[in-house]
Amino acid sequence: MSLVDLSTPTPARGFSLAQYAICLRGVVWREALRFLHQRERFVSALVRPLVWLFIFAAGFRSVLGVSIIPPYDTYVLYDVYITPGLVAMIQLFNGMQSSLSMVYDREMGNMRTLLVSPLPRWYLLTSKLVAGASVSILQVYAFLLIAYFWDIEPPTYWGYLTVLPALILSGLMFGALGMLLSSLIRQLENFAGVMNFVIFPMFFASSALYPLWRVQEGSPGLAFVCELNPFTHAVELIRFAFYGQINALSLAVVLGCTIVFLGAAIVAYDPSRGMLMRREG
């Protein structure tokens, strides 16, 4: 005997804005919870830039001079100079970590929980992106707190606030890049390639460790590559934002790259057009 009245229609209900907000909150909450549970991940996310700051920058402080370039209006110590680069490095690693976790989730099945939600897939992926960026911002502020006791601080305390929009944007850009990569990587084992072909080249071929005018002196070709590198623009966006300024070119590049990477990731995860279905089986 059927307990369901077959004459009962199943009307379309759609989703309210509140339901969209609940979904976003849930995805961010889950990501934060996972992050807090993985204390090793939190510690390693902090140790990496701190090693650069306390050891690398301290060692090179007297070797590498940095001339007065915008946004600085005076000579700055080398460790002050590389701090925005280290902040961007935290976000880059976090974006790649999210990518790694998406590949893992896809292999282990957790990702399916997200993808079979009835809400639109572009919204689910964007929520996941926002969640990852939020976690990266938590990491950045933890790093800046420690750096503060190393006498590295913006010219005014407002700098901690003015840098926030830049952190949101750069966090979204690196997260979107990670998401795109996760759709292209078939197996977890292939992820080591990301380290070699994405993280290291992006970080070293940028203005994170040395100003571009110095690179230009040494290698104009490399300087050109650095200027094309989105990581350079994320670093500069953060550097200027620390000083309450906007680098318009960097803002445009970071914004543009975020849109392109996210759009490509959404296409890649689209069930009818994406890469996933061609890779299974």
Partner 1 sequence: MTLPTETPPPGTSAPEPEAPAAALQISHVSHSYGKRKALDDVSFSVRPASFTVLLGLNGAGKSTLFSLITRLYGVRSGAISIFGWDVSRTPGEALRRLGVVFQARTLDLDLSVEQNLRYHAALHGMGTAETKARSADVLAKVDMLDRVNDKVRALSGGQMRRVEIARALLHRPRMLLLDEATVGLDVKARADILTHVRSLIESEGIGVLWATHLIDEVRDGDDVVVLHRGKLLDKGDVAEVCARAGAPGMGAAFNRLTGVDATEGN
CB of 46 to partner 1, least distance (A): 20
Q: Binding of partner 1 at residue 273 (CB under 8 A)?
A: yes
Nearer to partner 1, 26 or 155 (CB): 26
Nearer to partner 1, 64 or 115 (CB): 115
Phi, psi of 4 (to 5 degrees): -100, 130
Percent helix, strand and coil across the chain, each to the nearest 5: 75, 0, 25
| Ordered DSSP codes for 208-228 | SSS-HHHHHHH-HHHHHHHHH
H/E stretch holding 79? helix 78-108
What's phi and psi for 125, nearest 5 deg? Answer: -70, -40
Residue 74 in the binding site for partner 1 (CB under 8 A): no
Q: Is 281 in the site for partner 1 (CB under 8 A)?
A: yes
* By the rule CB under 8 A, 280 interacts with partner 1: yes
Residue 40 binds partner 1 (CB under 8 A): no
276 binds partner 1 (CB under 8 A): yes
CA distance 89 to 147: 15
Nearer to partner 1, 31 or 79 (CB): 31
Stretch that binds partner 1, among 45-53, 70-78, 200-208, 272-280 (CB under 8 A): 272-280
Structure tokens at 237: 């966006």
CB of 37 or CB of 68, closer to partner 1: 37
Q: Which residues contact 211 (CB under 8 A, 6 or more apart)?
A: 66, 67, 69, 81
> Could you report how far apart the first and last alpha carbons of the chain are, in Å?
39
Binding residue for partner 1, selected from 124, 180, 234, 238, defined by CB under 8 A? 124
> Which positions ≥6 away from 116 have C-beta within 8 Å?
none
Q: How far is the CB of 181 from partner 1 (least distance, A)?
A: 19
- What is the footprint of partner 1 within residues 82-111 (CB under 8 A)? 108-110
Options 50, 71, 117, 204; binder of partner 1; rule CB under 8 A: 117
* Position among 32, 38, 77, 164 found at the interface with partner 1 (CB under 8 A): 38
Q: Is 68 in the site for partner 1 (CB under 8 A)?
A: no
Give the tokens for residue 152: 């590295």
Nearer to partner 1, 217 or 280 (CB): 280
List CB contacts of 256: < 8 A, sequence separation 6 or more. none
32, 34, 162, 199: which one contacts partner 1 (CB under 8 A)? Answer: 34
39 binds partner 1 (CB under 8 A): no
- Should residue 30 be labelled a site residue for partner 1 when binding is judged by CB under 8 A? yes
- Which residue in this structure is represented by tokens 């190393």? 150
Which residues lie below 8 Å from residue 174, measured CB to CB, with a gap of 6+?
91, 92, 94, 95, 96, 136, 234
Task: Please report, as ranges, the residues that interact with partner 1 according to CB under 8 A.
Answer: 1-4, 6-16, 18-20, 22-23, 25-27, 29-30, 33-34, 37-38, 108-110, 112-120, 124, 270-274, 276-278, 280-281
